[in-house]
Structure 1
Amino acid sequence: MTQRKSIFITGAASGIGRHTALLFASRGWFVGLADIDVEGLDRLEREIGADNCRTLWLDVTDAKRYRAAIEMFTSSTGGRLDVLFNNAGILRMGRNEDIPLMQQYLTLDINVKGVLNGIHCALPALRVTPDAHILTMCSTSAIYGMPELAVYSASKHAVHALTEALDLELERDGITVSDIMAPYVNTPMVTGASTQASSVRSTGVNVQPEQVAEVVWKAAHGRKRHWKIHYLTHVLMAVFSLLPPLRRPIIKALCLGR
């Protein structure tokens, strides 16, 4: 059993989750590594060291398994959970009519239902941990609905609203709720996609997972609700706030080239 600070990371086997796990472990935290990718988890455990983490096979859409995973992890931390990082997510790009309905449902199941499951199952441990945080990966696509990312964008709008609502609700419990808003990140989910949205070409993939991990570290020690990464996120939020009529034409130009 450890008394170190602890973080539970979903989607930990690759990309943002992997780099976040490595960063927190290197800074003395005990890390929960949750994913469906068993081989990826095994590789990561070898890098971090078995004494610094606990690996857990987890499908985030399964609330029963999620609850059991949290209980197993906190049995190694003395019941404490300093940070829940809802990082697991999927992205399907392309025209909405070309994406099978079951894939659209799966996007919502993982990106929204998975987050709801995590928060619900982790709350007992978070409530007994002083200054606990709930962090969720969001997206620049939560600012305005993005064509060729319609369902993904909708899922991130849900995360954005959920963050704001729960940050108010859980304030009395001393729990800070935040999201991390980033444009395209250089991960297999984006670069390895069989179909890529036009906005990938127009805006580029300019954020590295290591950069996101550093922002997660700051968020785990901060109080802001929305942590914005890259100038594109900052510029779009500022322009859309000050000049609402420009939202639609800017998104058309960025995402559809017209």
Structure 2
Amino acid sequence: MGQQRSIFITGGGSGIGRATALHFAAKGWFVGVADINEAGMAETLGLIAGDAKWSGKLDVRDRAAWDEALAAFAAAAGGRIDAVINNAGIGTGGSLSELDPDEIDRCLDINLKGVLYGAQAGYPYLKASAPGSALVNISSAAGIVASAGMSVYCATKFGVRAVSESLDAEWAGDRITVASVCPAFIETPLLNGTGNRKSNEAIRDRVTAAGLEITPVQEVAKAVWDAVHGTKLDYFIGATSKRMAFAKRWMPGKVRKQLRGSSGPLGR
């Protein structure tokens, strides 16, 4: 029997990160969760039986902290890392003219630079454990179609898909699997916030008013499992995400017309 496989998940204190940790733990993997939310991480680990688990505080914007966290996790997991899941992210919405510069910077730094840093720091571990190792980046339906009022968030999620596509080619010779997972609206704490500090409207209220479905977070965790073990580049989760991917490919003019007449949200 081979060595127990291990997975490192950012944003593991809640939502998709927690669901992914529980899914892989149930499959017998050694699970590591990283977050800035220490209480959330403790709660996640409390839901996992046994000792095959680890947690560490990590701000994904800090490149040096990535090296420290991955080294600590690898040591706890027996010296190897088989999968890195770039999940940590925040939501930002509203008219670009309303956003403060620090709101723009924070979204770009966490959602996009954090993914690049995670991929860069994780590469030597994934190369060492290949074939069978994987980098999975959590994008969004907002990385498929860009709607009004979501310019910064969409920029990051389109970027996450671009990073994934680039690394899929760049790392092919190393036999590292690279994929992006694109949920639509998922039942996570992200829905409870507002688009920006000048808005009092909850994201959840906008989603509900638009008549869009909210997908159980466990479906995303299963998609991450499929991505780690699969061969596709993009995994579209939820009816909205799948519909947007189809329409953007086959009816781009219609999609543009619809978006220019709507200000509704389109992604996780």
Tell me whether the two structures share a fold, i.e. TM-score over 0.5: yes
Using the TM superposition, name which of 161-170 and 45-54 deviates more: 45-54
**Gap change, CA 1:242 and 1:31, over 3 Å in 2:** same
Using the TM superposition, name which of 189-198 and 244-253 deviates more: 189-198
Code of the residue aligned with 1:181 in structure 2: it is: C
Using the TM superposition, name which of 191-200 and 58-67 deviates more: 191-200
C-alpha distance in structure 2 between counterparts of 1:103 and 1:48, whole Å: 35
1:1-258 alignment runs, 5 A limit: 3-49=3-49, 51-130=51-130, 131-193=132-194, 194-196=200-202, 200=207, 201-256=209-264
- Aligned residue for 2:118, secondary structure, equals helix
- Aligned residue for 2:180, secondary structure, equals strand
CA displacement at 1:254 relative to structure 2: 4.8
C-alpha distance in structure 1 between counterparts of 2:233 and 2:190, whole Å: 25
Structure 2 gaps of 5+ residues are 195-199
Code of the residue aligned with 1:83 in structure 2: it is: A
Using the TM superposition, name which of 72-81 and 213-222 deviates more: 72-81
Alignment deviations for residues 153-189 of structure 1 (CA, whole Å, 9 cap, x no partner)? 0000111111111101101001011000111111111
Using the TM superposition, name which of 50-59 and 131-140 deviates more: 50-59
C-alpha distance in structure 1 between counterparts of 2:206 and 2:139, whole Å: 17
CA displacement at 1:190 relative to structure 2: 1.4
CA displacement at 1:203 relative to structure 2: 4.2
Alignment deviations for residues 1-33 of structure 1 (CA, whole Å, 9 cap, x no partner)? x93111100000001101111111111000111
C-alpha distance in structure 1 between counterparts of 2:43 and 2:145, whole Å: 37
CA displacement at 1:252 relative to structure 2: 3.3
Any conservation in 2 of the 1:95–1:147 contact (CA below 8 Å)? yes
- Aligned residue for 1:212, secondary structure, equals helix
CA displacement at 1:56 relative to structure 2: 0.4
C-alpha distance in structure 2 between counterparts of 1:29 and 1:167, whole Å: 24
Code of the residue aligned with 1:204 in structure 2: it is: L
Structure 1 gaps of 5+ residues are none
Code of the residue aligned with 1:236 in structure 2: it is: M
Identity across matched positions, percent = 34
C-alpha distance in structure 2 between counterparts of 1:178 and 1:195, whole Å: 33
C-alpha distance in structure 1 between counterparts of 2:257 and 2:202, whole Å: 21
C-alpha distance in structure 1 between counterparts of 2:95 and 2:153, whole Å: 12
- Aligned residue for 1:88, secondary structure, equals coil
Any conservation in 1 of the 2:83–2:228 contact (CA below 8 Å)? yes
**Gap change, CA 1:18 and 1:157, over 3 Å in 2:** same
CA displacement at 1:80 relative to structure 2: 1.6
Using the TM superposition, name which of 72-81 and 110-119 deviates more: 72-81
Code of the residue aligned with 1:195 in structure 2: it is: E
C-alpha distance in structure 2 between counterparts of 1:106 and 1:83, whole Å: 26
CA RMSD of aligned residues (A): 1.8
Any conservation in 1 of the 2:116–2:163 contact (CA below 8 Å)? no
Any conservation in 1 of the 2:12–2:34 contact (CA below 8 Å)? yes
CA displacement at 1:242 relative to structure 2: 1.7
Alignment deviations for residues 210-245 of structure 1 (CA, whole Å, 9 cap, x no partner)? 111111111111010000112222222222222221
Please report the TM-score for the alignment, with normalisation by the length of structure 1. 0.93
Using the TM superposition, name which of 147-156 and 202-211 deviates more: 202-211
Any conservation in 1 of the 2:13–2:41 contact (CA below 8 Å)? yes
